[in-house]
Structure 1
Amino acid sequence: SGVNRSSGSSNWLVDLFLMGDYNAMVNYETLIIQTNEQLEAQGKETLYAVYPVDGLSISDSPLGYVNKGDAKKEEAFLEFQEYILSDEAQSEIEKTGKRNSYGKVRDENKIYYKPEWGIQVDKVLSPLRFPPTEVIEEALTLYQTSFKKPAYTVYILDYSSSMRGDRQEQMVDALAQVLLPENAKQHLLLGTQQDQTIIIPFSSEPMDAQEKSGNDLTELYDFVESTFAGGNTAMYEATLAGLEIIKNEPDLAKYNPAIVLLTDGEANGDLDYFDLEASYLNLKIDVPIFSIKFGDSADDQLDMIASLTNARVFDGRENLIEAFRSVKGYN
Structure 2
Amino acid sequence: MMIRTFLTSLALTAALALTGCNSGAGPKFSIVSGSENTVIQPIVEEFCKQKGATCSFTYEGTLDIGLALQSDKGIEQDAVWPASSVWVDMFDTKRRVKSLTSIAQMPVILGVRKSKAEALGWVGKPVYMKDILAAVKSGSLRFLMTSATQSNSGASAYLAMLSSALGNKPVVEPGDLDKPDVQGTVKALLAGVERSSGSSGWLADLYTDSASKGTLYDAMWNYEAVLKETNDKLIGMGKEPLYAIYPADGVAIADSPIGFVDHGRGPEVETFFNELVAYLRSAPVQKGIADTGRRIPLGGVAAKADLNWNFDPTQLVTAIRMPEPAVIRQALDLYQSALRKPSLTALCLDFSGSMEGKGETQLQAAMQFLFNPDETGRVLAQWTPADRIMVVPFDSRVRTTLLATGDPAQQKSLVDKVSLQHAGGGTDMYACASRALGRMKDTPNLPSYLPAIVIMTDGKSEDASREFLDEWRATNPHVPVFGITFGDADKTQLDALAKATSARVFDGRDDLVSAFRAVRGYN
TM over 0.5: yes
The one-letter amino acid of 2:257's match is P
Please state if 1:10 is matched with 2:200.
yes
- Using the TM superposition, give the Cα deviation of residue 313 of structure 1 relative to its aligned residue in structure 2, in angstroms: 0.5
Counterpart of 1:23 in structure 2 is 218
Counterpart of 1:47 in structure 2 is 242
3-state SS of 2:403 partner: strand
- Using the TM superposition, give the Cα deviation of residue 126 of structure 1 relative to its aligned residue in structure 2, in angstroms: 4.2
Q: 2:370 aligns with which of 146, 155, 178?
A: 178
Looking at structure 2, the residues matched to 318 and 195 of structure 1 have their Cα atoms a distance apart, in angstroms, of 28
Higher strand proportion: 2
Output the aligned Cα RMSD: 1.9
The 5 Å alignment of 1:91-102 reads 91-100=287-296, 102=297
- Using the TM superposition, give the Cα deviation of residue 250 of structure 1 relative to its aligned residue in structure 2, in angstroms: 2.9
Output one character per residue of 1:178-218: Cα deviation in whole Å (capped at 9) or x when no partner: 21222222221123322110000001210110001234212
More displaced stretch, 285-294 vs 165-174: 165-174
Looking at structure 1, the residues matched to 267 and 349 of structure 2 have their Cα atoms a distance apart, in angstroms, of 51
Counterpart of 1:314 in structure 2 is 506
**8 A Cα contact 1:151 1:255, kept in partner:** yes
3-state SS of 1:63 partner: strand
In the alignment of these two chains, the number of paired residues is 325
- Using the TM superposition, give the Cα deviation of residue 69 of structure 1 relative to its aligned residue in structure 2, in angstroms: 6.2
Counterpart of 1:89 in structure 2 is 285
Looking at structure 1, the residues matched to 265 and 490 of structure 2 have their Cα atoms a distance apart, in angstroms, of 44
> Structure 1: which 5+ runs fail to align?
none
- Using the TM superposition, give the Cα deviation of residue 286 of structure 1 relative to its aligned residue in structure 2, in angstroms: 1.9
4+ runs of 1 displaced by more than 4 Å? none
> Structure 2: which 5+ runs fail to align?
1-190
Q: Which one scores higher on RCO, CA 8 angstroms, separation ≥ 6?
A: 1
3-state SS of 1:226 partner: coil
Counterpart of 2:395 in structure 1 is 203
Residue 287 to residue 80, structure 1, CA distance change in 2 (3 Å): same
Q: 2:415 aligns with which of 209, 221, 235?
A: 221
Please state if 1:323 is matched with 2:519.
no
Q: 1:37 aligns with which of 232, 257, 267?
A: 232
The one-letter amino acid of 1:4's match is E
**8 A Cα contact 1:148 1:192, kept in partner:** no
Residue 147 to residue 103, structure 1, CA distance change in 2 (3 Å): farther
Output one character per residue of 1:265-288: Cα deviation in whole Å (capped at 9) or x when no partner: 4113xx511111211112242210
**8 A Cα contact 2:454 2:483, kept in partner:** yes
Looking at structure 2, the residues matched to 183 and 81 of structure 1 have their Cα atoms a distance apart, in angstroms, of 37
The 5 Å alignment of 1:209-248 reads 209-216=401-408, 217-248=411-442
Looking at structure 2, the residues matched to 103 and 325 of structure 1 have their Cα atoms a distance apart, in angstroms, of 39
Looking at structure 1, the residues matched to 521 and 479 of structure 2 have their Cα atoms a distance apart, in angstroms, of 15
Residue 297 to residue 74, structure 1, CA distance change in 2 (3 Å): closer
Question: Could you tell me the TM-score, scaled by structure 1's length?
Answer: 0.92
Looking at structure 2, the residues matched to 245 and 103 of structure 1 have their Cα atoms a distance apart, in angstroms, of 56
The one-letter amino acid of 1:259's match is I
Looking at structure 1, the residues matched to 495 and 231 of structure 2 have their Cα atoms a distance apart, in angstroms, of 27
- Using the TM superposition, give the Cα deviation of residue 247 of structure 1 relative to its aligned residue in structure 2, in angstroms: 1.5
**8 A Cα contact 1:104 1:121, kept in partner:** no
Looking at structure 2, the residues matched to 305 and 173 of structure 1 have their Cα atoms a distance apart, in angstroms, of 25
Q: 1:266 aligns with which of 442, 460, 479?
A: 460
3-state SS of 1:219 partner: helix
**8 A Cα contact 1:190 1:215, kept in partner:** no
Counterpart of 1:148 in structure 2 is 340
Output one character per residue of 1:238-262: Cα deviation in whole Å (capped at 9) or x when no partner: 1111111111223111100000001
Counterpart of 2:131 in structure 1 is none
Looking at structure 2, the residues matched to 168 and 288 of structure 1 have their Cα atoms a distance apart, in angstroms, of 25
Looking at structure 2, the residues matched to 235 and 42 of structure 1 have their Cα atoms a distance apart, in angstroms, of 35
Looking at structure 2, the residues matched to 296 and 169 of structure 1 have their Cα atoms a distance apart, in angstroms, of 13
The one-letter amino acid of 1:310's match is S
Question: Could you tell me the TM-score, scaled by structure 2's length?
Answer: 0.59
**8 A Cα contact 1:175 1:324, kept in partner:** no
